[in-house]
Amino acid sequence: MHSLKNKMAPGAMAVLLSLLSLPALAQGAVKDEYKWLTFAVFGAIIAVTMFVTYFAARRVKTAKDFYTAGGGVSGIQNGWAIAGDYLSAASFLGIAGLISIWGYDGFMYSVGWLVAYITVLLVMAEPCRNIGKYTLPDILAYRNDPRKVRVVGALSVVTVSTFYLTAQMVGGGVLVKTLIGIDYEISVIAVGVLMLGYVLFGGMVATTWVQIIKAVLLVTASIVMVILVWSQYGFFGDFFDAVVNDPKVQARVAQILGDAAKNMTPQELGQRFLEPGLLFKAPIDQISLGMALVFGTAGMPHILMRFFTVPTAQEARKSVVWAMAIIGGFYVLTLFLGLGAAMKVGPSAIIGTDAGGNMANPLLAQALGGGRDSLLGNFMLAFVSAVAFATIVAVVAGLVLAAASAIAHDVYVGVVRGNNASQVEQVRAAKIATVVFGALAVAIGIAAKGQNVAHLVALAFAVASSANFPCVFLTMFWRRCNTGGIVAGMIVGTVAAIGLVLVSPDMTYPLAVKAASEKAIVVAADRLAKLDAELAALAVPRMKLNADLAAAAGEAAKVPIRAAIEKATAAETESEARIKAEIAATAKTKAAAQKKIDDLHGATTSLMGLEKPLFALKNPGLISIPLGFLAVFVGSLLYRDKRAEDMWDELYVRQNTGILAAKAGGAH
């Protein structure tokens, strides 16, 4: 078996496996007869969260309840909620998928998402808790001109939330469609309606509980799956041994490396999966993304907002440490889930269902439970799918709450009404903003159907790290910082991050697409010619045997030849099926490449009118973060602001000591 698979061309293996999983793509990963199971698990999770929202709704009376759950969330609860807010579908499905098809590089990618919380722990959580109220612009408004900084702060919050949210909405729609075959538009609307239900009626109280429930489900699902994976492949040393010796993994590496894999033994191919460099070619991109993560997480409005829900800085600290334990533990489990999926399901089958690898975890769950035709396998798939769905709803709820609070609290109440609004008016404003932004999210989700939105998450982190982080950090830690610096930093950071992405390799460049597609067509045509020749040559051994048979004299001589003919015929049939499958797949690849060229409609330039990227980095962090800081420095030094100077002592003492903070948070 081993030798047979190793002899087979890896490309053929990949194609064959992806063909086998094609039916899954057409009708959703869940078979029709098991869909009730998926809906039952979905329904149960929705029922529990709705029940929680019902009770939460009665506790939400004031603006403080709506935005920060009255400041009454404990450190442990908040830690779970942060994890629930942060572990998006991109983490749960995307990273396991990356690991399952790219090995080591996928795991390396996950590290930055945890390390980011050290910045949150050391410089953001406690000072923000000590001086903040409901939103990120509240921190900026403490010593700067409230009207000006609330407007630029709210703009940045809405920008970051919209980018992040679009990625979630589109990802969610595609996910539900791939899993159970429900229409993209319907699943986007379902996410929107559910999320609105939670936020509108239960505010931050319900959002917090939805996030906690989702985080618990996510961690539980991961632990159960990892235990099953370990029970099959062994723990640590044995587990990695199994990865290296897995023929599907070896075939995948051979496919990635192409010609370079010719002289490698199967063992070496498997080992290569555990080494860096299969996915990431430009280290500078990784460093730039790392910077965006390490500083961007601390500037994410929906994460920052979570620190206003706890009563004290000590509880804020405790919540980050809990979040780090949960998030870090989750990523370590993901390593085993991703590699487990590579062995149990196989990278080719995973790519066959979804090119980005997002189906690795759901397919692994199904396989661990006994496969596509078993009740347990489908139950586990249903559970994982429902958790993924809950994940999207919970993350979207946090983002909509953050964006709505910036619009209602900062712009409407703070700027338009000059802080003169009753509690009833404030809550009403918050709810109206929630509905408006929620509807906008659904509209954007539907409008962006079919778009590649993966880089929008990175863009959200780029803006958060280049605009929000320098402003929030410097207003709390730099005496000379003032309104001029905040306005300049917010604008320059946001514009630099977005502007650099618009001219980066992330955009589509028709000439590059055309060149790559033309090359793919040539390769495919070559392969087709070779396959046709192979197909034509298939019958040769049998024909020769037939000739031998005719020439043979006597029954005794004919018996072994007949047996050989039978064997040759069987081999021929098998090879014919394999080659025909590969021909079909190669023809499909060729057609897809041709379609890519046709879809360009003769265009030669990107959205920005460029033939090739002006800026080499995929993530702008390396340039835009220093620019954001520089803008705050220059803006502050060029601007005179008496209030920012006068308020410095108060802000600095308060952020360091928490004087008055416990009172402010706990009084209720």
- How wide is the angle at C-alpha 118 spanned by C-alphas 410 and 622, nearest 5°? 75
**Residues 186-215, interacting with another protein (CB under 8 A):** none
Q: Does 294 contact another protein by CB under 8 A? A: yes
- How wide is the angle at C-alpha 367 spanned by C-alphas 363 and 373, nearest 5°? 100
Q: Is 21 helix (H, G, I), strand (E, B) or coil?
A: coil
CA distance 413 to 430: 9
> Cβ(252)–Cβ(14) under 8 Å?
yes
Helix axes 375-405, 423-447, angle to 10 degrees: 130
The least CB distance from residue 331 to another protein, in Å, is: 7
Number of neighbours of residue 85 by Cβ within 10 angstroms: 29
CA distance 161 to 121: 22
Q: Does 244 contact another protein by CB under 8 A? A: yes
Out of 11, 181, 276, 626, which residue is the one contacting another protein (CB under 8 A)? 276
Cβ closest to another protein, residue 634 vs residue 647: 647
Q: Give burial (CB, 10 Å; 0-12/13-18/19+) of 517.
A: buried
The least CB distance from residue 465 to another protein, in Å, is: 13
The least CB distance from residue 149 to another protein, in Å, is: 19
Q: Give burial (CB, 10 Å; 0-12/13-18/19+) of 450.
A: exposed
Out of 47, 227, 235, 241, which residue is the one contacting another protein (CB under 8 A)? 241
Q: Does 274 contact another protein by CB under 8 A? A: yes
Kindly state the number of chain residues that form the binding site for another protein, as judged by CB under 8 A.
54
Q: Does 290 contact another protein by CB under 8 A? A: yes
The least CB distance from residue 388 to another protein, in Å, is: 23
The least CB distance from residue 2 to another protein, in Å, is: 17
Cβ closest to another protein, residue 315 vs residue 582: 315
Element (H, E) at 169: helix 146-180
**Residues 40-69, interacting with another protein (CB under 8 A):** none
Exposure string of 165-174, with b = 16+ CB inside 10 Å and e = fewer, is bbbbbbbbbb
> Cβ(392)–Cβ(410) under 8 Å?
no
Please give the structure tokens belonging to residue 497. 């991050």
> Cβ(377)–Cβ(368) under 8 Å?
yes
Please give the structure tokens belonging to residue 105. 């590089």
Q: Does 277 contact another protein by CB under 8 A? A: yes
Residue type, 48: V
Q: Does 287 contact another protein by CB under 8 A? A: yes
Helix axes 375-405, 360-369, angle to 10 degrees: 150
CA distance 289 to 342: 26
Cβ closest to another protein, residue 271 vs residue 606: 271
The least CB distance from residue 296 to another protein, in Å, is: 14
- Among residues 284, 262, 293, 272, the alpha carbon closest in space to that of 113 is found at 293
Among the residue ranges 169-177, 284-292, 584-592, 626-634, the one whose residues contact another protein (CB under 8 A):
284-292
Cβ closest to another protein, residue 437 vs residue 461: 461
Q: Does 653 contact another protein by CB under 8 A? A: yes
Q: Does 469 contact another protein by CB under 8 A? A: no
Cβ closest to another protein, residue 244 vs residue 491: 244
Cβ closest to another protein, residue 443 vs residue 660: 660
The least CB distance from residue 668 to another protein, in Å, is: 16
Any idea how long the chain is?
668
**Residues 630-649, interacting with another protein (CB under 8 A):** 649
CA distance 237 to 572: 41
Please give the structure tokens belonging to residue 196. 């609105």
- Among residues 84, 126, 490, the alpha carbon closest in space to that of 304 is found at 126
CA distance 435 to 192: 10
Q: Enumerate the H helices of 345-478 as residue ranges.
A: 347-353, 360-369, 375-405, 423-447, 454-463, 469-477
Residue holding tokens 């000591």? Answer: 657
The least CB distance from residue 470 to another protein, in Å, is: 15
> Cβ(353)–Cβ(93) under 8 Å?
no
- At 392, phi and psi to the nearest 5? -65, -45
User: Number of helices and strands (H, E) in the chain?
Assistant: 33, 0
Q: Does 659 contact another protein by CB under 8 A? A: yes
**Residues 295-354, interacting with another protein (CB under 8 A):** 314, 317-318, 320-321, 324-325, 328, 331-332
Cβ closest to another protein, residue 39 vs residue 230: 230
Q: Does 472 contact another protein by CB under 8 A? A: no
The least CB distance from residue 653 to another protein, in Å, is: 5
Cβ closest to another protein, residue 117 vs residue 509: 117
Cβ closest to another protein, residue 122 vs residue 637: 122
Q: Does 280 contact another protein by CB under 8 A? A: yes
The least CB distance from residue 260 to another protein, in Å, is: 14
Among the residue ranges 99-107, 151-159, 440-448, 543-551, the one whose residues contact another protein (CB under 8 A):
99-107
CA distance 250 to 329: 28
Cβ closest to another protein, residue 600 vs residue 662: 662
Q: Does 418 contact another protein by CB under 8 A? A: no
Q: Does 275 contact another protein by CB under 8 A? A: yes
Cβ closest to another protein, residue 178 vs residue 619: 619
State the binding string over 104-143 for another protein (x if CB under 8 A, else -).
xx-xx--xx-xx-xxx-xxx--------------------
The least CB distance from residue 651 to another protein, in Å, is: 8
Radius of gyration of the chain from its Cα atoms, rounded to whole angstroms? 28
Cβ closest to another protein, residue 114 vs residue 251: 114
The least CB distance from residue 273 to another protein, in Å, is: 10
DSSP 458-516: HHHHHHIIIIIHHHHHHHHH-TT--HHHHHHHHHHHHHHHHHHHHTSTTS--HHHHHHH
Q: Does 271 contact another protein by CB under 8 A? A: yes
Cβ closest to another protein, residue 120 vs residue 404: 120
The least CB distance from residue 486 to another protein, in Å, is: 21
List Cβ neighbours of 317 (8 Å cut-off, separation of 6 or more).
75, 121, 125, 126
Question: Roughly how many angstroms between the first and final C-alpha of the chain, as a whole number?
Answer: 69
Number of neighbours of residue 316 by Cβ within 10 angstroms: 30
Q: Does 658 contact another protein by CB under 8 A? A: yes
Among the residue ranges 375-383, 518-526, 539-547, 655-663, the one whose residues contact another protein (CB under 8 A):
655-663
Among the residue ranges 175-183, 272-280, 433-441, 631-639, the one whose residues contact another protein (CB under 8 A):
272-280
The least CB distance from residue 289 to another protein, in Å, is: 8
Q: Does 652 contact another protein by CB under 8 A? A: yes
Site of interaction with another protein (CB under 8 A): 104-105, 107-108, 111-112, 114-115, 117-119, 121-123, 236-237, 240-241, 243-244, 270-271, 274-277, 280, 283, 286-287, 290, 294, 314, 317-318, 320-321, 324-325, 328, 331-332, 649-650, 652-654, 656-660, 662-663
